[in-house]
Amino acid sequence: MAAAAAGTRVFLEVRRRLQSALLILGEPKEGGMPVDISITPSSLEVKTPAGCTELRLPAEVRLVPSSCGGLQYVAGDGLHLRLQVRVDSSAKLISVFNQSSQGQECCTFYCQSCGEVIIRDRKLLRVLPLPSENWGALVGEWCCHPDPFANKPLHPQENDCFIGDSFFLVNLRSDLWQPRPELAPVETHRLSSENRFKLKPKANTKVICKRCKVMLGETMSSETTKFYMTEIIIQPSERNFSIIPRSQFVQSVVAQCLVELSTARSTFRFTIQGHDGKAYILLWLLNSDSLVIESLGSSNSITKFPLLEDILKADSSSAWNAIKVLYQPCIKSRNEKLSRAWESDISIHTLTLPSATCLELLLILSRNNATLPPSLRSMNSFQPTNIY
């Protein structure tokens, strides 16, 4: 197969469940030169007079060269080609940033942003999932007598860790001797003319890291603290802490939350909401079985995001497991009508994160969208993107 290109960009997206792949060979930047594409079961090779680019596939994925078809040229994009793949279905994809805590282990809680120790050497005897946020409304359907759980909030004991959709609940009573995260200043008001003060019902209960001042969670009671999964890393105490690039960590945690919720509750549309109650992003999960293999070639066409680390390097190839989503931003009064419609739809699930993390996630989604081939950057009124 031959085509014309200069500074060629190669993009390969594999769908494991469909056993198919989309190959996009970037459009030439200027002029033209012959290009030879060689496809083998384990690799893809693109040869030009200027050099050779080879993409190697993971061991569980194999291309079927004889299935190549659907060749077409898309203006501004390049050549599109579809082919079949064979995928080892027994290979399980496990995130290297899996946050699930194992019982009976001594764990240390770290601030993900700076590595500050939040809870040291906590032995977790019980690690339990919390029921869905609407469980109280369903109790009437389960019980033939008055609600036995009324006014009984689920608070963890000293060696418990309760896991919600996007947060951990832990008890800090046994950690009074340790350095603790700070509470943000709260508003107070006078009860009388005496110098006595009381917290307002809407007092600021944010928990922030002492070192980097990032919001980690919120206090739920005098002993119970909610830590957001995007802000905390939990590791066995004997393991040394290592910094994970922030955007990779946020993507991994959000992707894991979306996949687990869609599997458990058959929910595929989500509202990403800040701790302030405002909607920031509307997300629609399309699939969770993508593998993206890419060689960027020249970096001139890639939009730069200075606030995010550059995980896709120019003139190199990368392979990433990914989930594909459609998204719409809701900041600055954008998509208000759609946001209200989603808010009233009971089939749509809300994920709550710190407001700063919501903005960070929106920037990551925009960056990932900008790195896609142009023809893949829009779908109706939504913007498609991959979360790696």
List the chain domain ranges: 10-87, 97-144+154-174+203-243, 247-288+303-387
Q: Which amino acid is at 87?
A: V
More confident residue, 206 or 301: 206
**Residues in contact with 260: Cβ distance below 8 Å, sequence separation at least 6, in sequence order:** none
d(CA 129, CA 183): 26
Instruction: Give the pLDDT of residue 247.
Output: 94
Helix (H, G, I), strand (E, B) or coil at 254: helix
Highest mean pLDDT: which range of 133-147, 164-178, 321-335 = 321-335
Q: Is the pLDDT of residue 248 over 70?
A: yes
pTM over 0.75: yes
pLDDT digits (tens, 9 = 90+) for 297-341: 544 545 555 556 555 544 455 788 999 999 999 998 899 999 999
Greater confidence (137 vs 330) lies with 330
The helix (run of H) or strand (run of E) holding residue 225 is strand 224-228
Q: Is the pLDDT assigned to residue 198 strictly greater than 50?
A: no
Beta bridge partners of 326: 284, 384
Q: For residue 93, is pLDDT > 50?
A: no
Q: How far apart are CA 284 and CA 373, in angstroms?
A: 20
Segment 31-44 shows an average pLDDT of 79
* CA 73 to chain CA centroid, nearest Å: 33
Q: Is the pLDDT of residue 51 over 70?
A: yes
Indicate whether 4 pLDDT > 50: no
CATH class of the 10-87 domain in this structure? mainly beta
- Residue 192 predicted with pLDDT over 80: no
What is the rounded average pLDDT of the residues 39-51?
83
Burial 67-99 (b: 16+ CB within 10 A, else e): ebeeeeeeeebbbbbebbbebeeeeeeeeebeb
Helix, strand or coil for residue 121?
A: strand
